[in-house]
Amino acid sequence: MDFPVSEKNAHIKSRVLSVAGSDSGGGAGIQADIKAISMTGGYVMTAVTALTLQNTLGVYGVIPTPPQAIREQIRLTLTDIGADTIKTGMLGDRKTIETVSQALADFGANVPRVIDPVMVATSGDRLLSADAVDVLRTLMVPGAALLTPNAPEAEILSGKAVESVDGQRRAAERLMEVGAKAVLVKGGHVAGDLIVDVLQTEYDEVFFEAARIETTNTHGTGCTLASAIASYLAQGRALADAVDAGRTYLLKAIETAPGLGQGHGPVNHGWPLEVER
């Protein structure tokens, strides 16, 4: 049985549904999403697509969530609490992508979506099967309010080489032709001391620049940025402003990372609490 979203809930601006995998190390995935959305003022709900067995050194296993369980998580949250934005992360395989796409069409068709096309973990371990790339491109990219690929992901999805800002721009243009309403091609994997993130929309192009921070504590940066942006969008910010605020949150989280683990450590999602002390 579906329950109508209450009129009270419909007027609350801050609700974000995160559809992503769980990271046992706590630095990425659903765990990063919960921290980032909460720290940036949003209310987060979750639909867990997989259990990943990982720490800062790598991913040691992936256990997919049964499709019906994924669908029910999405249905139950959206038909009761509702959402102002939906953020997707690791989807893993063809069946999961198909399940999520259909569930969002059935229960959240009019909710803006921030799609983070998670393909490879920071450790280098693959998180999206090779045969699922076309399905992701076909089912998740069209209609996305914002697509947030890093350079390697943008290259795979667009078929364009992404080795410079010009490559980022060309890839963004191609992904908008595929159907995304806006694309943020992140520049962290592009060589250079200055990182440039390129945001393209139907109306304009915006470049966000930041000095590269030399650190190995970058686990979950993509999840964190997409979640922070989704949180700010849910609160009514314009897209470019939400991206700018999300980047500010992430950069401070990287700068103040605690240095946990023996590999790629997590960022400091809780830095706003430290500022308040």
Give the chain's radius of gyration (CA, Å): 17
Residue 243 phi/psi, 5-degree rounding, is -65, -45
56-83 burial string, b = 16+ CB within 10 Å, else e?
beebeebebbebeebbebbbebbbebbb
With H, G, I as helix, E, B as strand and everything else as coil, classify residue 266: strand
Catalytic residue among 186, 187, 201, 246: 186
The question of whether 99 is a catalytic residue gets the answer no
The question of whether 186 is a catalytic residue gets the answer yes
Question: CA–CA separation, 7 vs 97, rounded Å?
Answer: 31
Catalytic residue among 27, 42, 82, 222: 222
Catalytic residue among 160, 223, 224, 265: 223
Catalytic residue among 89, 92, 167, 220: 220
CA-based nearest residue to 21, from 83, 63, 67, 82? 63
Which pair of tokens denotes residue 244?
């700018």
Catalytic residue among 221, 224, 246, 265: 221
CA-based nearest residue to 182, from 138, 137, 232, 142? 142
The question of whether 85 is a catalytic residue gets the answer no
Question: CA–CA separation, 212 vs 240, rounded Å?
Answer: 21
The question of whether 21 is a catalytic residue gets the answer no
Residues 6+ apart with CB under 8 A from 138: none
The question of whether 35 is a catalytic residue gets the answer no
CA 13, chain centre distance (Å): 19
| Dihedral sign from CA coordinates of 194, 195, 198, 204 | negative
The question of whether 222 is a catalytic residue gets the answer yes
- Count of other CB atoms within 10 angstroms of residue 9: 13
Catalytic residue among 218, 224, 246, 265: 218
* Residues involved in catalysis: 186, 218, 220-223
